[in-house]
Structure 1
Amino acid sequence: MNPNLLKQLAIVVKQGSLSRACEQLYITQPTLTRSIKQLEMKVGAPVLKRSRHGVIPTEIGARLAQIGERILADTDHGEEVIRQWHSGYHNEFTLGIDPLWEFAAYREMSDHFLREKRYVFHLRTGSAAAQIGLMQAGELDFLLAPAHLTVAQESLQRDLLFRDRSGVFAGKKSSLIRRKGAVALDELERQNWMIAGASAGFLDGQGELAGPTAARIAFTGSIRSVLHLLNTTDMLVRLPARLALMTGEIAPEQMIEVEGKPGPRRDIALWSRTEEGERPEILKVRELITELVTGMDQKTPTFGLDL
């Protein structure tokens, strides 16, 4: 089967319109119509059907469009690999990053990777639970994410590199800021809470300090909105304390002392697939990332946390 037919079908399905697909493909509508008919002759059934809003795929059309999407992605990646080879790069590595880590360490991380002349780095930000799945599917080479997760971890290697604990942070309009002594749990329950990392797969529940009242808003894979609310409201949230303070967007006095034991560990680990651990290129890049993260662990203040 001509893979170009599947690529064209994928674009039609994505656009939901033959005319818009023609604009993207830079071809005429009669040309695209002939391609679709050629594909339908091969299948022996329609791959598209009309709806009130344009065209939608039939069952077999949707399955073939998914294959076309993968062909499009692989084609784009292949062209980029050729550009990398002509530019003298040895290999490309995909690194997943926790959103708060990216925000707190973007400057050091970017400078560190740009100094490495042999490799190309593709940095991908997202929640830990989702990225662990991508790693197990072979779509990530490494992942910088929380070390203590409830997600399935078979066939993965974990190296703890950055020490941290969960801390409770109050928005700048909260009366709890600069409170002397620990805040009692019953008072915490009366506060307005939000949740960060709602689908990250942390071992500890994030709601036990807030009591039975539901958090007013929750974020997955987002940190910018959390920081905005900490700067403009009285809301409370639990975050990895060192990383949160490393952003420079949160004042140290916004981390409040709470009644009971210290917050749970929120260490950052370097995750990788065990089966690829002995490849020379993997070992070199692991060493590069480890040097960066352990260096940041050593120079970052502990902010009074028991680490």
Structure 2
Amino acid sequence: MNPNLLKQLAIVVKQGSLSRACEQLYITQPTLTRSIQQLEMKVGAPVLVRTRYGVQPTDIGVRLAQIGERILAETEQGEEIIRQFHSGYQNEFVIGIDPLWEFATVEQMTAFFMRETRYVFHFRTGSAAAQIELLQKGELDFLLAPAHLSVKQGALERQLLFKDRSGVFVGKKSPLRGAKKVISQAVLEQQNWLVAGANAGFLDRPSELIGLKAASMAFTGSIRSVLHLLNTTDMLVRLPARLALMTGDIQPDQMIQVEGPLGPRRDIALWSRVDNLERPDGMKVQVLLQDFMKNLEASIPRFELPL
């Protein structure tokens, strides 16, 4: 089967219109119609049906369009690899990073990796829970994420390289801001809480501090909304304290001392696939990431946290 027919079908399905697909493909509508007819002759059944809202794929059309999408993606990746080769790059590595880590270290990370001219780095930001699965599947080469993820390591290697601990932060409008004393559980139970990193295995729920009281808002995979709320409301949240203070969007007087044990550790580790480290370039990039994280650990203040 001609793969171009599947690629064209995928674009038609994505656009939902033959005319819009023609614009993207730079071909005439009669040409595209003939391509669809050739595909339908091969299948022996329609792959598209017309509706008042445009064209929709049939069941077999959906399945073939999915294959066409993969062919398109592989084609684009191949073209990018050729561009990288002509630009002098040796290889590409996909690195997953946690949203708070990205936000807190953006200046240091971009400056560090801009100096590296041998490799192309593709950074993917997302929750730790989602990204560890991508690493296990081989869709990531490395992951900068919490060291204490609940995950079967199996073929993964973990190196703890950045120390951090959970802390409680209050919004700038909270009367607790700047408190010099330890805040009791009775007071904490009366506050408005939000949850950051829900289901991500990284950031903390307030339940261990305030019992069964529900948080009014929860966020997964994004830190901007959390920082906005801490700047504009009286809400409370638990965050990795060192990273949170590194952002500059949260002030030290917003972190309060609370009754009970210290917050749990929230150290950051470099997670790697063991089989990836068998590649010479993989070993070199691992050393690059280790050096970056070690330098950051040594240069970033600890904000008087018990680390």
Give the TM bin, normalised by the shorter chain. Answer: over 0.9
Deviations for 1:97-123, whole angstroms, at most 9, x for unmatched residues?
111111111111111111111111111
Deviations for 1:111-149, whole angstroms, at most 9, x for unmatched residues?
111111111111111111111111122111111011111
Residue 231 (str. 1) matches residue 231 (str. 2): yes
AA partner of residue 183 (structure 2): V
CA distance in 2 between partners of 1:77 and 1:175 (Å): 53
Post-superposition shift, 1:203?
A: 9.0
CA distance in 2 between partners of 1:118 and 1:142 (Å): 17
User: Contact conserved, 1:150 with 1:202, CA < 8 A, in 2?
Assistant: no
User: Contact conserved, 1:244 with 1:250, CA < 8 A, in 2?
Assistant: yes
CA gap 1:210/1:18 in 2 versus in 1, 3 angstroms: farther
Post-superposition shift, 1:39?
A: 1.1
Secondary structure at the counterpart of residue 190 of structure 1: coil
**Match of residue 259 from structure 2:** 259
More off after superposition, 4-13 vs 147-156: 147-156
More off after superposition, 87-96 vs 214-223: 214-223
User: Contact conserved, 1:99 with 1:221, CA < 8 A, in 2?
Assistant: yes
More off after superposition, 37-46 vs 230-239: 37-46
Secondary structure at the counterpart of residue 190 of structure 2: coil
Post-superposition shift, 1:19?
A: 1.9
Secondary structure at the counterpart of residue 113 of structure 1: helix
AA partner of residue 176 (structure 1): L
CA distance in 2 between partners of 1:276 and 1:66 (Å): 29
User: Contact conserved, 2:197 with 2:204, CA < 8 A, in 1?
Assistant: no
User: Contact conserved, 1:9 with 1:36, CA < 8 A, in 2?
Assistant: yes
More off after superposition, 151-160 vs 176-185: 151-160
CA gap 1:202/1:107 in 2 versus in 1, 3 angstroms: closer
**Match of residue 296 from structure 2:** 296
CA distance in 1 between partners of 2:278 and 2:267 (Å): 25
CA gap 1:220/1:211 in 2 versus in 1, 3 angstroms: same
More off after superposition, 258-267 vs 47-56: 47-56
**Match of residue 79 from structure 2:** 79
More off after superposition, 287-296 vs 16-25: 16-25
**Match of residue 66 from structure 1:** 66
Post-superposition shift, 1:95?
A: 0.7
User: Contact conserved, 1:194 with 1:235, CA < 8 A, in 2?
Assistant: yes
**Match of residue 20 from structure 1:** 20
Post-superposition shift, 1:204?
A: 6.2
CA gap 1:153/1:57 in 2 versus in 1, 3 angstroms: farther
| Superposition TM-score, scaled by structure 1 size | 0.95
Q: How many residues align?
A: 307
Spell out the pairing of 1:46-195 with structure 2 (5 A cutoff). Answer: 46-195=46-195
More off after superposition, 43-52 vs 287-296: 43-52
CA distance in 2 between partners of 1:128 and 1:94 (Å): 15
Deviations for 1:210-256, whole angstroms, at most 9, x for unmatched residues?
43232222111111111111111111111111001001111011111
Unaligned runs of 5+ in 2: none
User: Contact conserved, 1:148 with 1:203, CA < 8 A, in 2?
Assistant: no
Secondary structure at the counterpart of residue 117 of structure 1: coil
Secondary structure at the counterpart of residue 260 of structure 2: coil
User: Contact conserved, 2:128 with 2:146, CA < 8 A, in 1?
Assistant: yes
More off after superposition, 53-62 vs 262-271: 53-62
User: Contact conserved, 1:151 with 1:201, CA < 8 A, in 2?
Assistant: no
CA distance in 2 between partners of 1:211 and 1:54 (Å): 53
**Match of residue 43 from structure 2:** 43
CA distance in 2 between partners of 1:207 and 1:13 (Å): 46
Post-superposition shift, 1:207?
A: 3.3
| Superposition TM-score, scaled by structure 2 size | 0.95
Secondary structure at the counterpart of residue 281 of structure 2: helix
